[in-house]
Amino acid sequence: MTVTLASLSRRTGLAVLDHLEQSVRIPVVDGLQAQGDLIVIPLPLVATSVTLIAEDRWEPVPAEGVELLRGAAGGNPHTLVADPGTCRWTTHVADSQGLAIGVFTASAPVYLLHPEHGGSGCAPGTYVVRRQREHEGTRARLVAD
């Protein structure tokens, strides 16, 4: 089934801004992807720096989704949405770089939805959700979306 921005927005009840093309098909990717100040990384790529702390502390992603991160100053949320029973989420992780928000594992495609950025899809697998940072010379700071 083709998932468009309009169909995902209707299905979840999460609105996106009018300037976005609603009929666009949301691609499903099995690799690294970014959305504003958030980056999603397949766990095997960062397994040496990210550790699951409590294997039994996973929560199912509910129909309304899970807010992963809200933009700076109370801005728009990045929301993980999935069909019932296809995705679990945990914030019980340790990250040597201090950037991890959590980890999700999916048995079917799942989607990240943001009112300004639209949607992106993640293929089945396990992913680390991190804050993005940017470097200026020798200084680094979190990306503010």
Q: Could you read off the pLDDT tens digit of each residue along the chain, which spans 145 residues? A: 677 666 666 776 666 556 556 667 878 999 999 877 888 999 999 999 999 987 778 999 998 899 887 665 556 777 899 999 999 999 999 999 888 999 999 999 998 887 676 678 899 999 999 886 554 666 655 555 5
Pairing of strands 125-131, 38-42: antiparallel
What pLDDT score does 31 carry?
94
Q: How many C-beta neighbours within 10 Å does residue 116 have? A: 14
What pLDDT score does 48 carry?
94
Is the pTM here over 0.85, yes or no? Answer: no
What pLDDT score does 46 carry?
94
Closest CA to 112 of 89, 141, 142: 89
What pLDDT score does 56 carry?
77
CA 103 and chain centroid, separation: 9
Say which DSSP state 74 is in: G
Show the tokens assigned to 46.
């960062």
Cβ neighbours of residue 109 closer than 8 Å, sequence gap 6 or more: 3, 28, 121, 122, 123, 124
What pLDDT score does 21 carry?
61
Helices (H), the chain: 5-12, 43-46
Rounded to the nearest 10 degrees, how much is the dihedral formed by the CA atoms of 25, 115, 32, 87? -80
Contact 46, 141 (CB under 8 A): no
Instruction: State the number of CA atoms in the 13 A half-sphere of 39 facing the CB.
Output: 16
CA 21 and chain centroid, separation: 20
What pLDDT score does 100 carry?
92
